[in-house]
């Protein structure tokens, strides 16, 4: 990428795409701009986590039954506070909140719904491993004069207007799509701007890496175990063994898969507490990552169905997830048939 291109800020990039998309309105650009501001505030605290009293747990348990990390709660508060004031939203839904988060009457309402995981992988934060904010943007279905209902939020992933994540690691990166390709920006902390670092990212059709928590092997069904095992031998799209990589933070494992190809898997398992439908949440994890994967030429499945066609039955519906290089995911789906 030329030095000139690298100076493109995310705001310029959004406006450029807004011009090219007849349906886009300034409202969508404003939404992303406010979300980016929230991400910068989160990044500031995440990168100083060891110095501020933000490590460890709050002692609370969230709707997922997980220990709430102090930074989870902080990130959740920052996004809700900032996005309520964006003027673009009629509602929000967070991995940390049991129910839909309404926009108070005193704020301007818009037509969009923001669904997010404020700090995914936060159990890793105390050991300084990459974590991330994952977001998904829908447009309401019900008329603006009515209250937002569950049906406005429980939409299949192909209805998303946009999706993306911010990864807090050696650098803070924003990766997003509005249906016109996948683009990555790196935060330059000296100027506080996200600058374009990769345009129109494409996942290689076949990868060299498989990514799964092998510690669950005794809790998988026979076909899942066979599919995972296939990446250790020659009966796979590469015709030779893949490398195993697993960070345990979806944003980090997905970002590597997006850049290098390969497959990330979180199959259903019979571990206690079991994940009969997988561990990952459809609305705030699988769907946004699936939109990114497909926009980059990859595939995202629950093992049988296209993730983007699954209609969630609750805000916190979980699904198995197989995502990444087209040939690698289709190879697994063939075994799981
Ligand atoms: P396990 C983090 O808690 C998370 O939700 C994802 O970020 C990650 O991919 C997965 O769970 C890791 O789960 O069971 O392997 O620790």
- Give residue-wise pLDDT tens across range 190-231: 888 999 999 999 999 999 999 999 999 999 999 999 999 999
CA of residue 249 to ligand 1 center, whole Å? 6
| pLDDT of 291 strictly over 90 | yes
CA of 271 to the centre of ligand 1 (A): 14
Distance, in Å, from the CA atom of 24 to the CA atom of 18, rounded to the nearest integer, reads 5
- Alpha-helical (H) ranges within the chain are 3-6, 10-20, 26-47, 70-84, 150-153, 222-229, 250-260, 287-295, 326-336
Closest CA to 181 of 263, 300, 262, 297: 297
User: 168: CA distance to ligand 1 center in Å?
Assistant: 16
d(CA 199, CA 295): 12
Residue 48: band (very low, low, confident or very high) from pLDDT cuts 50, 70, 90: confident
Q: Where are the domains of the chain?
A: 5-198, 209-336
CB atoms within 10 A of CB 305: 12
Does ligand 1 lie within 6 Å of residue 130's CB atom? no
Arithmetic mean of pLDDT over the chain: 91
CA distance 68 to 123: 9
Ligand 1 atom at minimal distance to the Cα of residue 123: 3
Q: Which of 120, 211, 316, 320 to mutate to test the pocket of ligand 1 (most atoms within 8 A of CB)?
A: 120
Any ligand 1 atom below 6 A from CB of 269: no
Say how many C-beta atoms besides its own lie within 10 A of residue 175's C-beta: 24
In whole angstroms, what is the distance from residue 230 CA to residue 254 CA? Answer: 20
Q: How is residue 95 written in tokens?
A: 């991995």
Are 259 and 130 within 8 A, CB to CB? no
What's the CA-to-centroid distance between 68 and ligand 1, angstroms? 14
From 279, 286, 288, 321, give the residue whose CB has the most ligand 1 atoms within 8 Å, as the site to mutate: 279
What was the pLDDT predicted at 272? Answer: 65
CATH topology classification for 5-198: Fructose-1,6-Bisphosphatase; Chain A, domain 1 (3.30.540)
Nearest protein CA to atom 2 of ligand 1, as residue: 121
Output the CA 162–ligand 1 centroid distance in Å: 23
What CA–CA distances, in Å, run from 205 to 34, 202, 245, 260, 262?
A: 34, 9, 18, 10, 8
Structure confidence at residue 288 (pLDDT): 98
How many Å from the N-terminal Cα to the C-terminal Cα in the chain?
Answer: 42
Does ligand 1 have an atom closer than 6 angstroms to the CB of 250? Answer: yes
- Residue 6's pLDDT is 60
> Whose CA is closest to atom 10 on ligand 1?
248
Alpha carbon distance 11, 82 (integer Å): 17
| Nearest residue to 78 (alpha-carbon basis) of 47, 40, 30 | 40
Question: Are 119 and 271 in contact, with CB atoms under 8 Å apart?
Answer: no
Sign of torsion over alpha carbons 251, 253, 256, 262: negative
Task: Report the separation in Å between the CA atom of 305 and the middle of ligand 1, taken as the mean of its atom positions.
Answer: 21
Tell me the C-alpha distance between 299 and 292, whole Å.
Answer: 9
Pairwise CA distance, residues 193 & 39, whole Å = 11
The neighbour count for residue 104, using CB atoms within 10 Å, is 9
Give the distance (Å) from ligand 1 centre to CA of residue 211: 12
- 57-61, 88-92, 181-185: which has the minimum mean pLDDT? 57-61
Please state the atom number of ligand 1 nearest to the C-alpha of residue 281: 5
pLDDT interval class at 11 (50, 70, 90): confident
54 vs 7, residue with greater confidence: 7
| Beta strand 89-94 pairing with 112-120 | parallel
Using a 6 Å cutoff on CB, does residue 278 contact ligand 1? no
Q: With 70 as the cut, is the pLDDT of residue 335 above it?
A: yes
CA of 202 to the centre of ligand 1 (A): 25
Contacts of 335 (CB under 8 A, 6+ apart): 223, 226, 227, 230
pLDDT given at position 153: 97
209-336 folds as: D-Maltodextrin-Binding Protein; domain 2 (3.40.190)
Nearest residue by C-alpha to atom 4 in ligand 1? 121
Spell out the residues 6+ positions from residue 155 whose beta carbon is closer than 8 angstroms to its own: 138, 141, 311, 312
Q: 3-state DSSP helix/strand/coil percent for the chain, to nearest 5? A: 35, 25, 40
């Amino acid at each position: 990428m030329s030095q000139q291109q690298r100076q493109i800020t995310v705001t310029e990039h959004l406006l450029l795409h807004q011009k090219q998309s007849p349906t886009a309105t300034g409202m969508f650009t404003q939404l992303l701009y406010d979300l980016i501001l929230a991400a910068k505030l989160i990044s500031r605290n995440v990168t100083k986590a060891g110095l501020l009293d933000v490590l460890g747990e709050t002692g609370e348990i969230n709707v997922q039954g997980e220990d709430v990390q102090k930074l989870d709660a902080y990130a959740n508060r920052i996004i809700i506070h900032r996005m309520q004031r964006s003027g673009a939203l009629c509602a929000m839904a967070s991995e940390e909140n049991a129910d839909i988060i309404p926009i108070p009457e005193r704020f301007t309402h818009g037509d969009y719904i923001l669904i997010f995981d404020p700090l995914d992988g936060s159990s890793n934060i105390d050991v300084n491993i990459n974590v991330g904010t994952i977001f998904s943007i829908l447009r309401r279905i019900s008329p603006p004069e009515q209250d937002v209902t569950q049906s406005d939020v429980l939409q299949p992933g192909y209805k998303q207007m946009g999706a993306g994540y911010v990864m807090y690691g050696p650098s803070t990166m924003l990766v997003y799509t509005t249906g016109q390709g996948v683009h990555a920006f790196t935060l330059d902390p000296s100027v506080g701007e996200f600058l374009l670092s990769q345009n129109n990212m494409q996942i290689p059709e076949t990868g060299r890496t498989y990514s799964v928590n092998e510690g669950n092997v005794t809790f998988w069904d026979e076909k899942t175990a066979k599919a995972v095992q296939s990446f250790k031998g020659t009966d796979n799209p590469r015709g030779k063994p893949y490398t195993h990589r697993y960070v345990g933070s979806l944003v980090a494992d997905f970002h590597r898969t997006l850049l290098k190809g390969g497959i990330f898997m979180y199959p259903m398992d019979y571990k206690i507490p079991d994940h009969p439908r997988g561990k990952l949440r459809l609305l705030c994890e699988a769907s946004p990552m699936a939109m990114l994967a497909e926009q980059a030429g990859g595939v995202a499945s629950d093992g049988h169905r296209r993730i983007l066609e699954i209609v969630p039955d609750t805000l916190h519906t979980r699904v198995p997830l197989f995502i990444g290089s087209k040939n690698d995911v289709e190879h697994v789906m063939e075994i799981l048939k």
